[in-house]
Structure 1
């Protein structure tokens, strides 16, 4: 529950997650790999999938 909540919070850029990482907790107890994965999810949540898909289309670059 905590890992799923953390991933959803990072993708949605909402801040607090569920469980230990909730509003009264912090991300400090997580390991380095977990923080890197969550840090990678943050920009992916901001970019969203539609603009990324548009950038990857060949027609976008030919126009």
Structure 2
């Protein structure tokens, strides 16, 4: 239902290889799977955000 919003946000976060699957059925609901990769490099330029993955990897 919100695939386009997810894809847009992932692009804003500079994710790479954002992909949308063909329609799949999960729990009797037709949907899509959105997949992506973290950026290879941290780029800081005007209008870009530095991504610090350490913050998210330390969750217990």
Fold conserved between structures, TM > 0.5:
no
Identify the structure with the greater strand proportion: 2
Using the size of structure 2 for normalisation, the TM-score is 0.29
Identify the structure with the greater helix proportion: 1
Q: Which has the higher contact order (CA 8 A, sep 6+)?
A: 1
Instruction: Select the structure of larger CA radius of gyration.
Output: 1
